[in-house]
Structure 1
Amino acid sequence: MTEEIIIAGFGGQGVLSMGKILAYSGIMEDQEVSWMPSYGPEMRGGTANVTVILSDERISSPYLKLFDTAIILNQQSMDKFENSVKPGGLLIYDPNGISHHPTRNDIQIFQIEGTKIAAEMENKKIFNMVILGGFLKKKPIVKIENVIAGLKKSLSERYHHLIPLNEKAIHVGMENIHPYQTLVI
């Protein structure tokens, strides 16, 4: 099994953290792992993406042009990465701020309203865990207990009190991912 993933959005959305948690989870499951971030000099608001590869075999290169899965969190990333999903692959996106929805019919497309759900849960910082939960519902490539362990490794100890909330966000995300339906007018 090899899963090649691109997670893309704005800095501050937890894009890199989500990738790091997936990478830690893969390591705990004795998988070969690659985590390659890409971001601008801005701390928040600039674009950011991370390529994560989890595999049972050696990973020859972290540089990819096509992905099994794209997790898209803003319009710029949709414009850039929609066509980078392999035919038959998976595209997951938060529709908040998306004005041009995906148009491909050779991939699976799912929406998850992470922004709205995080607001309803009264903590916008769990947005990325809601999205991660949705992804893991569609592709359970790592065990939830390893995701929680990865969360503990990636979060500073002073934030460990937020782990139960993050775990809840993952489960809420799993319950709130839906196939994208184009509107027929």
Structure 2
Amino acid sequence: MLEAIYLAGHGGQGTLSTGQLLALAAVKEGKCVSYVPHYGVEKRGGVSNCGVTVSDRQVSSPFVTEPTVLVAMNSLSLERYENAVVPGGLIITNSSLVEAKVSRTDVKAVPIRANDEAEALGDPLVANNIILGAVLELTGVVSIKTVEESLKEVLPPRHHHKIPVNLKALERGAQLAREYINPTGE
């Protein structure tokens, strides 16, 4: 098993904390992991990306250059990284902010209205975990239960009161992915 996941967005969208959460959960499950953040010098709104590689074997390179999964949290991220995804890979877009459709036909494209769904849950800051729930559902890279257990370690103690809404976000993202892949529920 090897998943090379690239999460791309801008500062404040939670891409780095999502990557940390995914990486920690994978470590807890005994998998080999690399996590490499990339961010701009801006305090808010600049580039904020990370690569997370999860494997059952040693990871040969920490850098994700050919992702099996791309999470595009904004339009620039889709435009910049769509062509890097391996054929047969997965692209999940935050379609609340990404209006363009994935142009490639050799990948699975799943739009998730993460910002709108986060608003519906009452906390716009959980859009990243709605997307993470979809990633977990579509890849099985780690269990949602392990991610839930890891939240207390990734979120600072001052935000532990937000764990329940983050759990709802993960579950909602998984549900949306299931509905997208199987819209009739059969």
With the length of structure 2 as denominator, give the TM-score of the two structures: 0.92
Distance across 2 between alignment mates of 1:11 and 1:60: 28
| Matching of residue 110 in structure 1 with residue 110 in structure 2 | yes
Distance across 2 between alignment mates of 1:124 and 1:12: 11
Equivalent residue for 1:127? Answer: 127
Distance across 1 between alignment mates of 2:43 and 2:3: 28
- State the identity as a percent: 36
Deviations 1:62-107 (A, max 9, x none): 1232110001011111111100110000000011232432110000
Higher strand share: 1
Distance across 1 between alignment mates of 2:149 and 2:84: 30
Contact 2:129 2:170 in 1 (8 A): yes
Contact 2:52 2:64 in 1 (8 A): no
Secondary structure of the equivalent of 2:87? strand
| Matching of residue 50 in structure 1 with residue 50 in structure 2 | yes
Q: CA deviation at 1:175?
A: 1.3
Mapping of residues 6-25 of structure 1, within 5 Å:
6-25=6-25
Q: CA deviation at 1:61?
A: 0.8
Distance across 2 between alignment mates of 1:63 and 1:166: 28
Contact 1:12 1:43 in 2 (8 A): no
> In terms of mean alpha carbon deviation, does 170-179 or 124-133 score higher?
170-179
Distance across 2 between alignment mates of 1:3 and 1:116: 28
Distance across 1 between alignment mates of 2:53 and 2:82: 18
Distance across 1 between alignment mates of 2:131 and 2:51: 16
Q: Which runs of 5+ in 1 are unaligned?
A: 181-185
Contact 2:31 2:55 in 1 (8 A): yes
Distance across 1 between alignment mates of 2:102 and 2:143: 29
With the length of structure 1 as denominator, give the TM-score of the two structures: 0.93
Q: CA deviation at 1:149?
A: 1.9
The alignment yields a C-alpha RMSD, in angstroms, of 1.3
Distance across 1 between alignment mates of 2:31 and 2:102: 31
Distance across 2 between alignment mates of 1:18 and 1:116: 18
Distance across 1 between alignment mates of 2:119 and 2:101: 22
Q: CA deviation at 1:120?
A: 1.1
Q: Which runs of 5+ in 2 are unaligned?
A: 182-186
Distance across 2 between alignment mates of 1:66 and 1:119: 32
Distance across 1 between alignment mates of 2:99 and 2:117: 19
Q: Could you list the structure 1 runs, at least 4 aligned residues long, displaced by more than 3 angstroms after superposition.
A: none
Contact 2:25 2:142 in 1 (8 A): yes
Mapping of residues 106-185 of structure 1, within 5 Å:
106-177=106-177, 179=180
Secondary structure of the equivalent of 2:21? helix
> In terms of mean alpha carbon deviation, does 53-62 or 90-99 score higher?
90-99
